[in-house]
Structure formats: structure tokens, C-alpha cells
Structure 1
Amino acid sequence: MKILGLLKGKTPEQIEIRGDDYFKKGEYGSSKMEYEKALSKLESKDPDAIGEIDRVKNKIARSCDALASEHERTAEDLVENGYTDEAEDLLTLALQLAKDGEIVASIEKRLRSLKTERKLPENPHIHVNEESLEKWEEPPDEQLFHDPGDHYFTLLVSTLPEEDQSEYHGYGESFKEGYVKLNRGDFEKAASLLSKAFEEAESAETFIPLELGTALLNLGHNKQALLLLGGFLEHHPETLRAYPLLCEIYWQDNEFEKAHALLQDCPESLKNEAVIHVLEGETFFHDSKYQEAEAHYSSFLTFCGWDEAIARAHAKTLEALG
């Protein structure tokens, strides 16, 4: 899912594959976090694997640039709707993420232009030329990058699928604080705050059980997490983010048939998603059924075409087969 330590027992390659899946879906914040976890494990496990380390670093940079560009587009919409403070905050965060020179230059130009417009007196006869804009710079407000409140929550939510973002913004303060704690790895406090948010919710059909279940899974409370996530999926069967979490529980409990049943019963709209097929192959892999995993990946590549995440999982399976 996002920014979480769910894959403690997984290899750097497996974590990288999850990052690839998130990037393909346009969830650049989540892909960045997965790649960073993969890099940390890779550098610890095999510091001499220069090629692999460079590949993951490049993917981190690519995710950062994609996320920065996404923030820049969102900021443009905010400005058009009169939310200049929020736009400036988001542009400043985007500037910290961006690696590509052209993207950095574009964001800097937007920031300078926005700040200049705020300082201009409301006089239509005053003209500021482009050259003066290019020369004028202000250092970004460092406080923005340490703000634990709404700015950080907004940034986290912006990495979610667009159709989910408005839902998250509609929840109360307990949820917002808990969601921030969850994404910072403070699972105890996250579980406490999200439990409170769950109790306060007027509807059982929110996304709160998904996040609370994630916190509980990270704490090792698999039975409670399973109840929450299973209930969530009944209301939101097309939420792809729930499937890796439920599979993780089934894998840990060696209940591989339940994982297969979960994936095979997913809605038709998800059946061709690479994530679902990676999870199917991973279920075979965790069950030490490497030949079945290899056959599944081969079938996908033959009939659905090239997919990087599937190809990497396939290569890992071939290596296990010897």
C-alpha cells in the first residue's frame, strides 16, 4: 500500500516489484516509499550490487519527479480556484521532491511568480517583466517540511487514487492524526487514533477499517486485521489496495488456498490488473509451488503482454527453480 513496513520478511526484489506496481497505477508516493525500502534492504544485504542499487535509485528519482509534477498540476488548479496559500505549500513540497532539472526550474518559476503576485499592489498599471521574475528568489519556508498537521496529511492523501482522496479529507481529526502516525510507522498510536475514528464514524462503509487494519497487521494482530479488512472488502471490493494486505495475512498463516480464493473472486474489473497476478504468483511462491508460479507468470506475459512487475517476479521464480 503506502509508506508502511508490511514487507519485513520480503527480499529487496519483491519490495521493488511492489514499487513497480504502484508506479504503474500512478501512485507515485507509494512507489517512492517502496523503492526506498528496497534500497535500504539492498544496501544492507548486498552493498556491492552496484547495478541493482543504481536501478532502484533511478526509480526513486523517477517517482519523486512524477510526484512533484503531480503536485505542480494540483497547485495550478488550487491557484485557479483561489487557494494560493495551499498552492504555495504544495509547490514548496514539490520542489523538495523534484530531481529533474527541467521540473525543478518549472516549479521554481511558478513559486516565484506566485510570490511576486502576492506582493504586488492591486494596480493594473504596474507591470513586472519576466526578467525580474527570474532574478527574484526567496528561500522556501522550512517549517512546511516539518509540519505534522494538515499540510502533511494533504500530501499523503494526494498519493492515493483520485476517487479516494475526497473520502479521506472528509474524515475527522482522529483519523487524520492516525493516518499521519500510520505513515510514519508509529503503529501503536496509529491504531489507537484510528480505533477512535472507527468508533466515531457514522457509516460502516468508510475507508477507516482499511487503515486501521493496516496498523493492526503491522502490530501482528492478524485476526483483528483480517476481520476489519474482510469487512472493508465487502463494501469496497474494487479497492485494489486491500488485496495485498489480506494476502499478507494468509501467507503468514500458511492459508494459501484462502489467498487463491480471494484473488480468483475479485471483481472482473480487477482480474487483468498486474497486481492481482503478482499476488497470485506470490501465493504459489510462498507455498513453495515454484512451477505453478512460473506457469502463471508465463501465461500472463504470453496473453497480456510485457509487464515489468510480472517479468521481475517471473525471473525470481526461475531463479528459485534453479
Structure 2
Amino acid sequence: MTSPLESELQTLQQTAQTAIAAVTDLTTLEQLRIQYLGKKGELSLILRGMGKLGADERPRLGAIANEVKEALQAQLDQRKQALQQAEIQAKLAAETIDVTMPGVYRPLGRQHPLNSTIDKVLDIFVGLGYGIATGPQVETDYYNFEALNIPADHPARDMQDTFFLGDGRLLRTHTSPVQIRYMESHEPPIRIVAPGRVYRRDTVDATHSAVFHQVEVLAIDEGLTFTHLKGTIKEFVRQMFGEALPVRFRASYFPFTEPSAEVDVQWQGKWLEVMGCGMVDPNVMKAVGYDPERYTGFAAGFGIERFAMVLHQIDDIRHLYTSDLRFLRQF
């Protein structure tokens, strides 16, 4: 005759197996495991009644209980494995990429002609052994003028219409202040190129802008001469334009160089002014604590916009600042 406890075990097994077979997710499956086989589960509750059994019935019902537990655990493991496999397959199906489908077009960005011109200039001078230096765009009168041999009463200040700020500072009118700041913190020999944005109160037209970009070149060492300056500029022009163009130097004047010259390049049959240059004035050397009897140097400066306009045949400088996609897509 079947004991009540044995009947409860058989009923438990049938109920649990039906529930396990019907489960469709791992979370519910884990809840069923706890419900039937956990420490406070239904199997444990049934086994507590074994204390009322006689000594001859306990081993038999204990064996039946173990069989029920093992059968349920085996079914739980099988169902868990099946659900995990189904979950993996569903994930693979959802994440499958059809490599035969056409890709989604994303328009590629283009480098701005000013940026590409600056990069080309820097690549050339880095290749010649120069380092890159930068400085603040908001400057003091000392760095922008006085240390560059342009005192307050110097007529050269009229050549550079300056934006002055309320606190006495100003927006730099050239990148030459970078030279002063660099020389103050470095001892010769020095070879640097200083790119940056500058500001002047120019009337905006096809060839002028109140905001533009300059590159300053500086070399300080013992024994540097104007010949070294000419050789450097000719090599720069050759690499910039891709060929050894005719170059001429015209005598000119800059407060911070002596002697000074303007540089013209013969481009497409016409002489084109491209930069100013000269030997660093001894007063500039003294301002930064260099001995002008021991060191000499040369400097050159030019506008990036002019080179960009020449190289890309741009007829109006304002095109460079309008962010017109029709214009930028050409580059």
C-alpha cells in the first residue's frame, strides 16, 4: 500500500515536471527550482514528515525522495540548457548582418583650405628641422610692440591698426610676440615656426580681413647670415609650390629686422609678394637677454590666406570664412 508521503512525492514530481516543461524563460525556471528544490521548497516541506515514519519506512522513502530530486534537477538542467541555446540563437538572428545589403552613405568631411595650407607649411619647416611654437592671442603692449623694437612713439605702429581691450591689453597684430616669449624661456640655438590667428582693423574686402592667419619663422644661432635666410626661403618656396620658382628679394623695412626684405615669387608669369623677412634686429636680441655680438638670426612672416588663395585659385578671401558647403566641397 502506498503511504501518504510517497503519494505526495509522486504528485510533486508530476506537477514540477509539467511546470518545468512549460517554462519559456530562464528567470521563471530559476523560480521553479527554488519553489520545488530550495531549502524552503515543497520537497523540503514533504521530507519534514519523515520523522513520523517508522524506522523500516524511512530508508525506502528517503531513496524515493532522492530519485525525485535527481529527476527534477536533471530536467531543470536540460531545460536550462535548451533555453540558453534558444536565447543565443535568437540573439544571433537579431544581430546578423546581411553583408549583401548596400551600405548607408555618409558624406565624408573635407579639410578646410586654410587648415590644409597650414599643415603643409608646418610639414615643410618641421622637415627642415624647425619646432612649432604657439602663444596667446590676447597680448600685452610689451610683447606685441615694445620687445619687437616698436616703442610707443614709433611710426610703425600706424602700419598695424590694433584692437585694444578695456584692460590695456590687445589682440595681437602678428605672431611675432611668440618669438619673444619663446626666446625668453630658451637659449640659442633656436629654430621655430609659429602659426596662429592675428587681428587688425582692416576694411574687409576681396583681399583683406580683420581676422587672418600668419606663420612666423625664427632662427637664432652663431654665424647665421642673410644667405642662410635666402636659402631657407627658396627651399620653402620650392616645396610649397612644387617647383623651383624665380624668387626675388626687395629691400624693405620692419622695425624688428635689419636689414629687411620683401619676397616676391614669379607665379604664372606674374611677380607675387608672399612674405617679409630680415635679420633679427640687435635691439630685439637685447630685449630677451641675448648677446647680439655673439648671436645672429633671421625671421620671416607670411599670411596663410594668401598662400591658400594662390594655391587653390581663390579670388575672394571672404570665401574662406563663409562656411559655404558649395565652396568647401571643392577641396
Please give the TM-score of this superposition, normalised by the length of structure 1: 0.21
| Structure holding more strand per residue | 2
| Structure holding more helix per residue | 1
The structure with more radius of gyration: 2
Please give the TM-score of this superposition, normalised by the length of structure 2: 0.20
